[in-house]
Amino acid sequence: MTPAELELRYYAVLGLVGEASRMALDYFNRNDSLGVTMKGAQDWLTIADGAVESFLRERLSTLFPTDAVIGEEGGGEASDAVWIIDPIDGTANFARNDRNWCISIGFLLNGRPEIGVIAAPALEELYCARRGQGATMNGQTIAVSGGGEIGRACIELGWSTRIPVQNYLAMVERGYTAGAAVRRAGSGALGICHVANGRTDAYAELHINAWDVAAGLLIASEAGAAVNDFFAGDGISTGNPVLCCTPALAAELEAITGIVSQRDIR
Q: Where on the chain is the footprint of ligand IPD (CB under 6 A)?
A: 72, 86, 89-92, 158-160, 186-188, 205, 208, 212
Which residues are tagged catalytic? Answer: 72, 86, 88-89, 91, 212
Name which of 263, 211, 197, 17 is nearest 120 in CA terms.
17
Residues 184 and 90: their CA atoms lie apart, in Å, by 11
CB of 206 to ligand IPD, least distance (A): 9
C-alpha dihedral over 101, 102, 103, 106, to 10 degrees? Answer: -120
Closest to ligand IPD by CB, 64 vs 113, is 113
Binding partner at 156 among Ca ion, ligand IPD, none, C-beta below 5 to 8 Å by kind:
none
Provide, rounded to whole angstroms, the least separation between the CB of residue 208 and Ca ion.
8
For residues 118 and 208, which CB has a smaller minimum distance to ligand IPD in the complex?
208
**From the list ligand IPD, Ca ion, none, which binds 158 (C-beta under 5 to 8 Å, kind-based)?**
ligand IPD
Q: Smallest distance, Å, CB 66 to Ca ion? A: 26
Closer residue to Ca ion (CB): 13 or 214: 214
In the complex, minimum distance from the CB of residue 143 to Ca ion, in angstroms, rounded to a whole number: 25
Nearest one of 187, 247, 184 to 216, comparing CA atoms: 187
CB atoms under 10 Å from CB of 55, counted, come to: 16
* CB of 45 or CB of 115, closer to ligand IPD: 45
C-beta closer to ligand IPD: residue 5 or 43? 43
Q: Which is nearer to ligand IPD, 13 or 213 (CB)?
A: 213
Dist CA 118 CA 89 (whole Å): 10
- Residue 90 touches which of Ca ion, ligand IPD, none (CB < 5 to 8 A by kind)? ligand IPD
* Site residues (vs Ca ion, CB under 5 A): 86, 89, 212
| Shortest separation between residue 208's beta carbon and ligand IPD, angstroms | 5
Q: Distance between CA atoms of 21 and 237, rounded to whole angstroms?
A: 26
228 binds, among Ca ion, ligand IPD, none (CB under 5 to 8 A by kind): none
Quick one: what does residue 113 bind among Ca ion, ligand IPD, none, with the CB cut-off 5 to 8 Å set by partner type? none
Report, in Å, the least distance between residue 71 CB and Ca ion.
Answer: 10
**Which of ligand IPD, Ca ion, none lies near 73, with the C-beta cut-off 5 to 8 A by kind?**
none
